[in-house]
Structure 1
Amino acid sequence: MLCLIFLCACIIGQTSYATQPVAANDSPHFIGTWELVSVEAHWPDGHVTSPWGAHPPGRLIYTKEGRMLVLCMHELRNEATRKVIPPALQNEAAGYFGTYKIDATRHIVSHTVTATLRSAESSTIDRSYEFKDGRLYLIAKATRNGLPVTYVLVWQRA
């Protein structure tokens, strides 16, 4: 919980330096607070898994000034439920904040990370995006266990 409070304080506190407003045709669609609906992993053989469970908690915030913050985790990792967290899930959370830019032509949103909970989420992270049925789909290509995998994170307005 302290990490979430710290992350929120940091994104709000980033007003000490000037940031450029996000400039792209799709930017008004991003701005606001989003709730995580699902995380799916699409594998080369066609099967789809939900690596963070059926209802992973998460929030994603985009501001009109070009700042962003995300925190999401495995559904069993949520300490707000007051359940004992299995050791294997202790690291099944992602959180970072920074700035973002949108390339509406290529449908790419780039998150430039200022601070993160995991080193894998550093520097600039590019995600393909699409808006469908009022939801935001962020798509990431990765490698897991030596295999290519496509992660699809589905967000709805909070």
Structure 2
Amino acid sequence: MRTQTMRTAALAVVAMIAAGGSAPAQSSGQAAAGPDRARLVGAWHMVSMEEQAPDGTLTHRDDRDAMLVYTADGHVSVQVMYPASDISSTTNSPYSKDGYEASFGSYDVDEQAHTVTHHVRGSLVRTLIGRDLPRVMQFSTDGHLTLRSARPEEKWSVTWEHD
């Protein structure tokens, strides 16, 4: 009986590891993985992006190709390719260069505030390196993830879908 219990426990541990169930890396003060953090893990592709123009009008963009990846151990990577027609409009963008946006690093989730903060370790735009980029996150009932800047001066939101 004891051998059977040990065998069952060992199989459960192997199954958890095989399914990617290792414990996420945690920074100091970070709570254990909660529902929002667990839902973030995986690869996402951009469904649409909304931006507010300088005159206050809302523009809807869905012609960008992008991928966002969150790993269970706390890493994040984002890549966005703008269409050729938008390359000139990215000249003053704090996130992109020549129509491309790319960064990677780690992330923390605040389950109570429903925010995820990207800690940029590397980026195509070097002024982002070392910065913390807080994002408000919202999950829809159809499984979409919407991220928007937590900074009031940044007027955009991006909707993502799991790959």
TM-score scaled by length of structure 1: 0.68
Matching of residue 155 in structure 1 with residue 163 in structure 2: no
- 1:23 deviates by 2.4
Aligned equivalents of 1:24 and 1:125: distance in 2? Answer: 20
Partner of residue 38, structure 2: 28
- 1:138 deviates by 0.4
Aligned pair in 2 of structure 1 residues 39, 88: CA closer, same or farther (>3 Å)? closer
Partner of residue 41, structure 1: 51
Deviations 1:101-147 (A, max 9, x none): 1001001101111100113533111100100121010001568xxxx
Percent of aligned positions that are identical: 26
Q: Which has the higher contact order (CA 8 A, sep 6+)?
A: 1
Instruction: Give ranges in structure 1 of 5+ residues lacking alignment.
Output: 1-18, 78-84
Aligned pair in 2 of structure 1 residues 41, 142: CA closer, same or farther (>3 Å)? farther
- 1:87 deviates by 5.9
Partner of residue 8, structure 2: none
Partner of residue 119, structure 1: 126
Provide the aligned C-alpha RMSD in A. 2.7
TM-score scaled by length of structure 2: 0.66
Aligned pair in 2 of structure 1 residues 47, 32: CA closer, same or farther (>3 Å)? same
- 1:44 deviates by 8.1
Instruction: Give ranges in structure 2 of 5+ residues lacking alignment.
Output: 1-23, 27-31, 91-96
Partner of residue 129, structure 1: 137
Aligned equivalents of 1:58 and 1:36: distance in 2? Answer: 5
Is residue 44–residue 149 contact of structure 1 (8 Å, CA) maintained in 2? no
Partner of residue 102, structure 1: 109
Aligned equivalents of 1:67 and 1:33: distance in 2? Answer: 12
Task: Please list every run of at least 4 consecutive aligned residues from structure 1 whose deviation after the TM superposition is greater than 2 angstroms.
Answer: 21-25, 42-47, 85-90, 119-122
Aligned equivalents of 1:135 and 1:34: distance in 2? Answer: 9
Decide which structure has greater strand share.
1
Helix, strand or coil at the partner of 1:29: helix
Quick check: which has more Rg, 1 or 2? 2
Residues matched between the structures, number: 127
